[in-house]
Amino acid sequence: MGFGLAALTKISSSQVIDKMGLRKPFEKAVTTSVKHGFRAAGTASRGFTPGKKLDKPARLAPAKDTGLFDLEPTDEQQMIVETVRDFAAEQLRPAAYDADAKLETPDGLLSRAAELGIGAFGIPEELGGFGTERSVTTNVLVAEALAHGDMGLAVAVLAPSAVSTALAQWGDADQQATYLPEFAGENVPAAALALSEQTALFDPFKLATTAKRTPNGYQLDGVKALVPRASAAELFLVSANLEGRGPALFIVESSTSGVSTEADPAMGLRGAATGKLHLNKVNVGAGALLGSDKPEMFAEVVRLSRLGWCALAAGTGKAVLDYVVPYVNERVAFGEPISHRQGVAFMVSDIAIELESVRLLTLKAAARAEQGKPYAREVALARKLATDKGMWIGNAGVQLLGGHGFTKEHPVERWYRDLRAVGVMEGAVLA
């Protein structure tokens, strides 16, 4: 990752950030918002054309295993996290309120994120990124830092890298050559990993969306739910039940005939402008199937996506903790700060304990994943805790502010809504 380190050293110096305009006050978004219920054809995608094809697909090497217990991120990770944390504080947090109200990701945010190189770590050097080894831990740390700013906008920022990370990890040489250079460039396409469907007790391994074999490839039918920035996305990775095989992932360009999107506003994640993706007799070529020779791939995508949500929960949970500490110290009732009461103080302790728990389980799973060790169990446990305790933290955040927490004067009500997503969402992000 020497290249990435060098790039970041430059970026993290304030001059460069200033030059990029990252410190400029955020300008209000002006794009027209998508009205609920209005279905539009998929956005026109750029012409994705194969670039220079490698002899074999580029793969990131597994991270090394030191054999030692260690909670210290590498110097490089530390620097990346500090940069992303600043970015989240300066670009995401101030924009979160409007993005939530308008159901849209502000203009320019994604290009600034791309300039920062978020997403390029997961793309191998040979294809224009700066990845040399698998960086699930780095991805987790980045998602956590972004979600400290805002979960919805973090999802919007991370959505394209979910697609590029999957292509880097499981794409064949043709798929990589066609799509990855675009993701490593300056004008990163909006893209989304679409796994969810609107079904009670949804199981990502049991899909209603179908893929039938055709003489030239596959025909897809179904509806995907809660797809980040669906209406803007140029490229989708869609899960569908492939007849005779089971759940599989397909690369679908937005301009393909039969693709349409519809706004799907939800309780939270509104800054990510979630939408439904309709697939009506969508014909894709034989090359659209991802990881056709890797049976483990689909489960890995589901696991790494869940891990991404754990990281987001940790980031938003930390935002809650950082917000309630000064609040309960300043808020006075019965003649003294409410933090002098055990009923209040113990809730703060429990937020800290459960937050650290979620964080450690997430990091444990991430380290195992990037080292190529089995990690299904660790992801399941991290997700269970992130779902239950993450929501509890969101709940406690509102409760500690009382009636004020219920109003939009404070961000805790938004975090409450966002944290409910953690146990619901499948797809959208990838650690």
For another protein, the closer CB: 20 or 381? 381
First to last CA, the chain: 17
Task: Please list, in sequence order, all residues whose beta carbon lies within 8 angstroms of the beta carbon of residue 424, skipping any fewer than 6 positions away.
Answer: 196, 226
Which value, in Å, is the radius of gyration of the alpha carbons in the chain?
Answer: 21
How distant, in Å, are the alpha carbons of 207, 231, 429 from that of 288? 18, 21, 20
Task: Decide: is 70 part of the binding site for another protein (CB under 8 A).
Answer: yes
For another protein, the closer CB: 55 or 72? 72
- Candidates 204, 250, 255, 205; CA nearest to 225 is 204
Q: What DSSP string runs through 89-155?
A: IIIIHHHHHHHHHHTSPPTTHHHHHHHHTTTGGGSBGGGTS-BSB--HHHHHHHHHHHHHH-HHHHH
Task: Decide: is 340 part of the binding site for another protein (CB under 8 A).
Answer: yes
In angstroms, the CA 419 to CA 347 distance is 17
The one segment of 10-18, 106-114, 252-260, 359-367 that binds another protein by CB under 8 A: 359-367
3-state class (DSSP) for residue 254 = coil
The one segment of 30-38, 112-120, 224-232, 382-390 that binds another protein by CB under 8 A: 382-390
Task: Decide: is 339 part of the binding site for another protein (CB under 8 A).
Answer: yes
For another protein, the closer CB: 50 or 73? 73
Task: Decide: is 203 part of the binding site for another protein (CB under 8 A).
Answer: yes
Task: Decide: is 199 part of the binding site for another protein (CB under 8 A).
Answer: no
Task: Decide: is 80 part of the binding site for another protein (CB under 8 A).
Answer: no
- Candidates 190, 222, 192, 226; CA nearest to 206 is 222
3-state class (DSSP) for residue 235 = strand
Task: Decide: is 334 part of the binding site for another protein (CB under 8 A).
Answer: no
Site for another protein in 243-282 (CB under 8 A): none
Task: Decide: is 331 part of the binding site for another protein (CB under 8 A).
Answer: no
Task: Decide: is 380 part of the binding site for another protein (CB under 8 A).
Answer: yes
Closest separation in Å from C-beta 414 to another protein: 23
The one segment of 170-178, 234-242, 271-279, 351-359 that binds another protein by CB under 8 A: 351-359
The strand ranges marked E within 198-311 are 210-214, 217-227, 235-242, 246-253, 259-263, 275-285, 289-290
Of the residues 329, 331, 399, 410, which one makes contact with another protein according to CB under 8 A = 329
By CB under 8 A, name the binding residues for another protein.
Answer: 63-74, 77, 137, 201-205, 299, 302-303, 321, 325, 328-329, 336-337, 339-340, 342, 345-346, 348-350, 352-354, 356-358, 360-361, 363-364, 366-368, 371, 376-382, 384-385, 388
